Amino acid sequence: MEKITRLDEAQQKWVDIELRHLLSSSALAVGAGTPTDSGVAWTLPTEVANPIRLAGGIPDPDTLPVKDLTMALEQVLLNTAVEALNYGGVKGFEGLCSSLALRQSKIEKLPLTSANFIVNNGAAGGIDNICDAFLDPGDVVIIEGPSFSGSVRTFKGHMAEVVQAPMDDDGLIVERVRDQILLAKKSGRKVKLLYTISDFHNPTGTNLAMDRRLELIELCSKHNLLIIEDSAYSEIFFNNDYMPSLFSIAQGEGVLKVATFSKIIATGLRTGWVQGRADFIEALTRVRYDMGNSPLIQRALANIIDSGKLDLHVDQMRPIYAKKCETLVNSLISHCPQYLKFIKPDGGFFLWVECIGVNANIVLREAAKLGLIFPGGAIFYLNGEQDNTSHLRLAFSTASLSDLEESGLRLRSAFDRAIGEV
């Protein structure tokens, strides 16, 4: 009886303890986050049974190469089941690293080998791996304002000081990056990383101009900043006039390029990679403690790359997304010209629109009531609504063409109702 009483007292003690007293500094720093941070589509309450969702950067369900994946998985299980169903190591399947090296050598126009690659749990895992290897608490990370909120949470979770440099229609403003570097150094802080989505930016859809790419590489080299180039959307271009990556321009020096199969095949594969100088990749392996991700998936992906099916698949996807973008843009021009300003992107999954004459947060709430769901621009800034109450991010990748055609009409009605509230 006495033991039971002591056990009850011990359990009650845990009940009385507040969670915040147990949480790590990292958990306290990042908070709960938003659905967008973790790849779950943004949502708001709506009474419409089947709302149009322009919320997440997720491939069109009809593009998923289910047949190719099934065949590749079958081949792996038939021929190398034991190896595929065992631990694979922190660097990843050597065959996939070699396949990536061959493919990326052509894309980057650089001689790459498997030593230049590590396979991670998507691009997000690659960014986290880089932070583990190169960030100390208190180091400064410069990001674009706005930027993908999920990556920002990763930097905050590593107890970095995150600062923004603004963007315009040509991407990141390099002079403002220089200002942030000098400001940090003046106060004795160490600036360690610069994070950029240089191609078809999330959320703005912009491309970093070529002259700025050169200036940014030169600036970061001068101040010993390591560039993290997030290229999640780089292959989703709508024409053949695309710019070389920062990694390619810098000849692989001072740039770690993060990429993923999530946007070019499927998000559920949870497989991406970091490419960089061999000694940098070796440093990333030192701080991997998760025993790597699925060798089964990695071997199947190597099969898809080596067979040429990946290149064929991506070639077939691009016109689909170009048509979706065109359809949404035309719908907005037809129905909302007095309410919106935007620049049509040349690739990617997103349209970044500026609201005229009304707070964007009112518009997104009214749109949800009408069955049109999307996030406001505020969540992509460090200070949220303090930084931006005028933009919306519309993702066109998943919605059907008919829904995209309807979107402009519903958005116009949302604006009419929002203006009525002002």
Task: Summarize pLDDT for 147-195 with one digit per residue, the tens.
Answer: 999 999 999 999 999 999 999 999 999 999 999 999 999 999 999 999 9
Asked if 49 and 127 sit in the same domain, the reply is no
Burial code of 223-259, b = ≥16 C-beta within 10 A, e = fewer? eebbbbbbbbbbbbbbeeeebebbbbbbebebbbbbb
User: Is 12 a member of any domain?
Assistant: no
User: Within 10 Å of residue 307's Cβ, how many Cβ atoms?
Assistant: 14
Q: Is the pLDDT of residue 38 over 90?
A: no
Asked if 228 and 267 sit in the same domain, the reply is yes
Asked if 106 and 41 sit in the same domain, the reply is no
Q: Is the pLDDT of residue 1 over 80?
A: no
- Rg of the chain (C-alpha set): 23
Asked if 50 and 124 sit in the same domain, the reply is no
Query: Residues of the chain with pLDDT > 70: what percent?
Result: 93
pLDDT band, very low/low/confident/very high, at 80 (cuts 50, 70, 90) = very high
User: Is 19 a member of any domain?
Assistant: no
Which of 237, 303, 309, 234 is closest to 275 using CA atoms? 234
pLDDT given at position 275 = 98
User: Is 164 a member of any domain?
Assistant: yes
The predicted model gives 377-391 an average pLDDT of 87
What are the counts of helices (DSSP H) followed by strands (DSSP E) for the chain? 14, 13
User: Is 282 a member of any domain?
Assistant: yes
The predicted model gives 228-255 an average pLDDT of 95
The predicted model gives 329-346 an average pLDDT of 97
pLDDT given at position 20 = 73
The CA-based angle 291-105-290, given to 5 degrees, is: 10
Q: Is the pLDDT of residue 422 over 60?
A: no
Asked if 250 and 129 sit in the same domain, the reply is yes
Query: Distance of CA 112 to CAs 97, 189, 215, 262, Å?
Result: 10, 35, 24, 22
pLDDT band, very low/low/confident/very high, at 393 (cuts 50, 70, 90) = very high
Asked if 243 and 367 sit in the same domain, the reply is no
Distance, CA of 112 to chain centre? 24
Asked if 277 and 298 sit in the same domain, the reply is yes
The predicted model gives 291-312 an average pLDDT of 97
What's 41's domain CATH number? 3.90.1150.10
* The residue to which tokens 């908070």 are assigned: 31
pLDDT given at position 4 = 59
User: Is 11 a member of any domain?
Assistant: no
User: Is 23 a member of any domain?
Assistant: no
Joined tokens for residue 419? 């203006």
The CA-based angle 209-212-213, given to 5 degrees, is: 85
pLDDT given at position 336 = 96
The predicted model gives 317-343 an average pLDDT of 97
Query: Last residue of some domain: 307, 330, 360?
Result: 307
User: Is 6 a member of any domain?
Assistant: no
Asked if 83 and 114 sit in the same domain, the reply is yes
Asked if 338 and 234 sit in the same domain, the reply is no
The residue segments making up the domain with residue 323 are 32-58+315-421
Q: Please give the Cα distance from 145 to 203 (Å, whole number).
A: 10
The predicted model gives 29-57 an average pLDDT of 75
pLDDT given at position 389 = 85
What's 166's domain CATH number? 3.40.640.10
Q: Please tell me the pTM assigned to this model.
A: 0.93
Query: Last residue of some domain: 272, 307, 342?
Result: 307
pLDDT given at position 238 = 96
Joined tokens for residue 171? 């991407």
User: Within 10 Å of residue 62's Cβ, how many Cβ atoms?
Assistant: 8
Q: In the chain, how many domains are there?
A: 2
C-beta separation of 60 from 320 below 8 A = yes
The predicted model gives 335-357 an average pLDDT of 96
Q: Is the pLDDT of residue 112 over 60?
A: yes
Q: Is the pLDDT of residue 119 over 90?
A: yes
pLDDT given at position 130 = 98
Asked if 167 and 49 sit in the same domain, the reply is no
Query: Last residue of some domain: 281, 307, 333?
Result: 307
Asked if 329 and 253 sit in the same domain, the reply is no
Asked if 97 and 205 sit in the same domain, the reply is yes
